[in-house]
Amino acid sequence: MKLLAFDTSTELMSIAVMREVDGEARVWQHTSAGGAQASGALIPAIETLMAEARLGLSDLDAIAFGRGPGSFTGLRTACAVAQGLGFGAGVRLLPVDTLLAVAEDARLRHAAASDRLSVLALLDARMDELYAAPYDYYQGCWQQRSEFSMCRPQELPAAPVDALAGNVFVQHGARLAVPATLPRWEALPTAAALLHLAPALLAEGNALRAEDALPLYIRDKVAQTTEERATAKATRGMPNRPQT
């Protein structure tokens, strides 16, 4: 398959292109700073990567993008760019849950040989909160065990899993309400993970017309009051007692 994938839901902008060369899949990748910079840098980086892969947009079978949850600005940027490219080239879009991509990135980096795996995927939601979702992997397929949740680190819902995966451990690790012995795998919703997920998601009929592809927002409120920021700061200074 010929695929373009990108994600700007975190502070990392990740882009990848896949096509077959001499009978084998080859991947071109680009990573750089995301966040506020992604809106101006994403399209030029895509154009460069597509040129390296010697592909035109109309050659693509689909464009995959991280739909959320994640940074509001990042999600809007990814969706708007995907829609613009999809409309212009007549290519269908594949919105992919960012927490699913986190689980897949963790599997590829830490447990690629495992046929069965359970992961609690976590992303920093800012405002002293996390996005979370548990996933089970079996014989090449992922299943989401329950709905997305957003919570404070010390209120993380219990979920029997093999490992935690995400980008929350440096800032929130000491307060996570989970056993201290549970493995913690750094992972992100990378474009490479989106490419790995894309064939199965496309086979399941998840590709959409450009006008039907939308971001996934979990939170409506995007800023804290002064009082809420003070409370969050005080809470972070409190000792945490992980479950054992």
Per-residue pLDDT of the chain (244 residues; tens, 9 = 90+): 999 999 999 999 999 999 999 999 999 999 999 877 888 999 999 999 999 999 999 999 999 999 999 999 999 999 999 999 999 999 999 999 999 999 999 999 999 999 999 999 999 999 999 999 999 999 899 999 999 999 999 999 888 999 999 999 999 999 999 998 999 999 999 999 999 999 999 999 999 999 999 999 998 644 444 454 555 556 555 444 444 3
**Do 24 and 58 meet the contact criterion of CB atoms below 8 Å apart?**
no
How far apart CA 119 and CA 117 sit, in angstroms, is 7
- Tell me what pLDDT residue 159 has: 86
Helix (H) or strand (E) holding 23: none
Q: What CA–CA distances, in Å, run from 217 to 71, 135, 181, 193? A: 9, 19, 32, 21
- The C-alpha angle 192, 89, 10, rounded to 5 degrees, equals 35
**Do 133 and 147 meet the contact criterion of CB atoms below 8 Å apart?**
yes
- Tell me what pLDDT residue 228 has: 42
Backbone angles phi, psi at 110, to 5 degrees: -125, -20
How far apart CA 102 and CA 100 sit, in angstroms, is 5
Backbone angles phi, psi at 53, to 5 degrees: -85, -5
- The C-alpha angle 71, 27, 116, rounded to 5 degrees, equals 70
**Do 7 and 189 meet the contact criterion of CB atoms below 8 Å apart?**
yes
Label residue 101 exposed, middle or buried (CB < 10 Å: 0-12, 13-18, 19+): buried
